[in-house]
Amino acid sequence: MEYRQLGNSGVRVSVIGMGTNQFGGKVDQNNVNSIIDAALDLGVNFIDTADVYQKGNSELALGEALKGKRDKVVLATKACLQTGDGPNERGTSRYYLTQAVEKSLKRLQTGRIDLYQMHRFDPTTPMEETLRAVDDLVTAGKVRYVGTSNYAAWQLAKANMLAEFRAQVPFVSEQGHFHMFERAVEKEMIPYCAEHNVGFIPFFPLAGGFLTGKYKRGEKAPVGSRGEQSSYVQSYMTEENFDILDRLSAWAQARGHTINELAHSWLLAQPAVCSVISGLTKLEHLQANAKAGDWMLTAEENAEVTAILDS
């Protein structure tokens, strides 16, 4: 497993990270325990969750699974989305973040969060207030690094400029929607992150499963698969995308790899990307994702794949 710096920080994360939004729900505690043990054996040290995943049960499941192993992982969680019925049970205000972090620490059974991410940009809270709040959390030792998720490039740029002027901790990473068929971040976010050494962390690298090859042209989605009901996955099931997918699959197969592996490796070849977050529900998913981290595209290979996507 390769490890890369988490943006402009001193900590290193595995290039394949683990998304845990199904832990504590579809993935029960016994399977969570097995997946965590296997992840550590495979060298995966970056684990991502959020306070809203499974209504907090993802954090609870991780807290149990990581007993005695906490120091072996870089543990990331998020806050901002609505967690209760009250008017202040959301956002990135000082009021909410100071409560949310304590609840996450308790569920995770840990004394600190390695990467605390703002799950969305909060337009109702002054940016200066959010920056002061996360700076205080780092000073208190409850958080080691802070990041963002689903921010626009200008929002992240403004926040880190203010943090520099105010001598506060900057956001070291941005987690965003990025895969072979979703490339909007290439316009502004990726260039910003590359220029300012902010780590970019793609989520949904497999387009909800479309980039695994499990969905076939002209056939119904497999029973029980996400694509059976998910409008997100179904939106990629166009004739044009199936044509591109066929070419990508053939390209990968000719080199002894799967489309799953190519989807991860292509992302890892893009500027500023430090780790790819792959959600999973089975041990086999983890093993397949980890294997993808062993294939690093050359500049020439990256150009060939990008040319297929642009065709």
Which tens digit of pLDDT belongs to each residue from 55-78?
999 999 999 999 999 999 999 999
Residue ranges per structural domain of the chain: 3-216+259-297
CB distance 223 to 198 below 8 Å: no
Which tens digit of pLDDT belongs to each residue from 150-165?
999 999 999 999 999 9
Q: Which residues are CB-contacts of 240 (< 8 A; sequence separation ≥ 6)?
A: none
Supply the pLDDT for residue 223. 82
pLDDT more than 90, % of the chain: 93
* Residues labelled as active-site residues: 53
Q: What is the pTM of this model?
A: 0.96
Q: Using CA atoms, how far apart are residues 186 and 288, in angstroms rounded to an integer?
A: 26
Q: Using CA atoms, how far apart are residues 253 and 188, in angstroms rounded to an integer?
A: 32
Supply the pLDDT for residue 225. 82
What average pLDDT does the segment 119-139 reach? 98
Supply the pLDDT for residue 71. 96
Which tens digit of pLDDT belongs to each residue from 191-244?
999 999 999 999 999 999 999 988 888 888 888 788 888 899 999 999 999 999
For β-strands 199-203 and 171-177, DSSP reports them as parallel
Overall size of the chain counted in residues: 311
* CATH code reported for the domain at 3-216+259-297: 3.20.20.100
For β-strands 12-14 and 3-5, DSSP reports them as antiparallel
How many H helices and E strands in the chain? 11, 10
Supply the pLDDT for residue 286. 94
Q: Using CA atoms, how far apart are residues 86 and 291, in angstroms rounded to an integer?
A: 44
